[in-house]
Amino acid sequence: MAHNPHAPQPGPEGNQDPAGSTQMFRAFVDEGEPQRRQQPAATSSGPKAGVIAAVIAVVVVLGAVAWLALG
């Protein structure tokens, strides 16, 4: 069997389950979840404005490439 230095090694305190520590940490973190703030809904113009700007940028770049290639 291959040696795995990251595997839990039995020690004087016995075998500890690392999943138990994770579960306890998650339970501790989840205690504060009801206090979360809801993020406001995104406006419908946000994504549309980004798409329009991207299309305009692509048209400008393609126009510049065509002008340099044909010029």
10-residue mean pLDDT series, the chain (71 residues): 63 60 77 64 69 95 95 80
**Residues facing residue 14 across a β-bridge:** 11
What's the pTM?
0.36
d(CA 18, CA 16): 6
How many CB atoms neighbour CB 15 within 10 A? 8
Enter the tokens of residue 50.
């980004």
CA distance 8 to 48: 52
What is the per-residue pLDDT for 58?
Answer: 97
pLDDT for res 50: 87
Give residue 30's pLDDT: 79
Instruction: Write down the pLDDT at residue 7.
Output: 64
**Phi-psi region for residue 42, left (φ > 0), alpha (ψ -120 to 50) or beta?**
beta
